[in-house]
Amino acid sequence: MAYDVERIERGIFSVKFSLSASIDERIASLEHADGLRSDDESLSLLFDMREAEICPYGAGPALALSDALARRRRTGSKVAHLLRQGQTDLATTVMASLCPRNASQRFTSRAEALQWLRDCGGE
């Protein structure tokens, strides 16, 4: 397991990837975080990929991640993608265009990402 899941506060979880951030690892971390929340909580995630290598993949896996997140979405759920300056990720781009307005966004600052998740995000 190349990630750690941490509950930041009610409804907000941080997933920090340390080695790689493959789509399979992101889906596994999503399932892990989903199992930690209570039934009445939203599921807002901070995918921190700043220290990870993003494995190459095509549009199909990016859509699979977007679909996995959509199946767990509740009112107030959001996904913040924390990347290094200049780091690119197809799933981040795909999700920003497919998710409901203001449900997925890219950041380079952890503090800004958490504030965005808290604004109408976590409970």
Mean pLDDT per segment of 10 residues, for the chain of length 123 residues?
90 93 90 88 91 86 83 76 87 73 86 91 44
Model confidence, pTM: 0.85
| Residue 47 confidence (pLDDT) | 94
| Residue 123 confidence (pLDDT) | 43
| Residue 1 confidence (pLDDT) | 66
User: In angstroms, rounded to a whole number, what is the distance separating the alpha carbons of residues 121 and 55?
Assistant: 29
Cβ pair 68, 43 in contact under 8 A: no
| Residue 51 confidence (pLDDT) | 92
What beta strand segments (E) does the chain contain? Answer: 3-9, 12-17, 44-48, 79-82, 104-107
The CATH classification number of 3-118 equals: 3.30.750.24
